[in-house]
Amino acid sequence: MRMLSVENLDVFHGDAQALDGVSLDIEEGAIVAIVGANGAGKTSLIRTIAGMHRPKRGRILYRGLDIAGWPSHKVCDLGIGQVAEGRQVFPSLSVAENLSMGAMLPRARAERERNLEKAYALFPALAERRHQAAGTLSGGEQQMLSIGRCLMGAPELVMFDEPSLGLAPTIVQSVLKTVRDLNREGLTCVLVEQNVAVSLKLASRAYVLENGRITLSGSGEALLSDDRVRQAYLGL
């Protein structure tokens, strides 16, 4: 079943157009990869779906409801979460306080304790450091916290924006394994990931974004063997 459809989305930052007629579909239960160079518009797309930019044109249908232009707290409360680029934890707050911030949505309040236990079970390192200031965590632990905080909002769809950026290779593996495991438990995922080969392997569907336009789409497998993708994004 289709969970989210983006139709003909145009987004501007001031006079500069970041997205030009972008359309894509996200099936419930899928991992959908968005591939593109720096500046292609991947973050603009995620932030527009999340209600942080207002599109100039186009529709964003979530379970059939057009949410384009909705404020971000309302989008979150529908069950659309994002793990933002650059992690963005609250450094002076404790791990536990950061996680609690994720449970302030009306949809998540009642399940707060249960979701906290789930987050600690998923990331035992966070449980051990629950009273520690988030700013003292390693980059990998901050990424776990950022994911954990998003999950505290009980999302049905999570958009991951470069979750492994700047992390050590072993941590990269574990972050991507987390995405895969969460998906296997039923979470629908959008994945923007500099590790293009891995993201295409995980993805059931993928879109290539170039200069604000979708130029190619298909199954992850099909794009993985597409010559244009191999040359431009896999260095093959």
Ligand X SMILES: Nc1ncnc2c1ncn2[C@@H]1O[C@H](COP(=O)(O)OP(=O)(O)O)[C@@H](O)[C@H]1O
Min separation Cβ 33 and Mg ion, Å:
14
Binding at 200: pick from ligand X, Mg ion, none (beta carbon under 5-8 Å per type)? none
CA quadruple 140, 145, 151, 153: dihedral sign: negative
With contacts defined by CB under 5 A, how many residues of the chain interact with Mg ion? Answer: 2
Min separation Cβ 55 and ligand X, Å:
13
d(CA 149, CA 139): 15
Min separation Cβ 214 and ligand X, Å:
12
Q: Which is nearer to Mg ion, 115 or 142 (CB)?
A: 142
The stretch among 37-45, 50-58, 104-112, 209-217 that binds Mg ion (CB under 5 A) is 37-45
d(CA 168, CA 196): 16
d(CA 103, CA 83): 14
Number of neighbours of residue 159 by Cβ within 10 angstroms: 27
Pull the structure tokens for residue 116.
């906290």
Residues of this chain that interact with ligand X (CB under 6 A) are 13-14, 16, 18, 36, 38-44
d(CA 153, CA 77): 8
Interface of this chain with Mg ion, residues 38 to 57, rule: CB under 5 A: 42-43
Binding at 40: pick from Mg ion, ligand X, none (beta carbon under 5-8 Å per type)? ligand X
Q: How far is CA 197 from the centre of its chain?
A: 17
Does residue 199 bind Mg ion (CB under 5 A)? no
Min separation Cβ 40 and ligand X, Å:
4
Min separation Cβ 38 and Mg ion, Å:
7
d(CA 92, CA 57): 39
Helix axes 139-151, 169-184, angle to 10 degrees: 10
Note the residue count of the chain. Answer: 236
Q: Which is nearer to ligand X, 12 or 125 (CB)?
A: 12
Binding at 53: pick from Mg ion, ligand X, none (beta carbon under 5-8 Å per type)? none
Binding at 235: pick from ligand X, Mg ion, none (beta carbon under 5-8 Å per type)? none
Question: Could you list the residues that contact Mg ion (CB under 5 A)?
Answer: 42-43
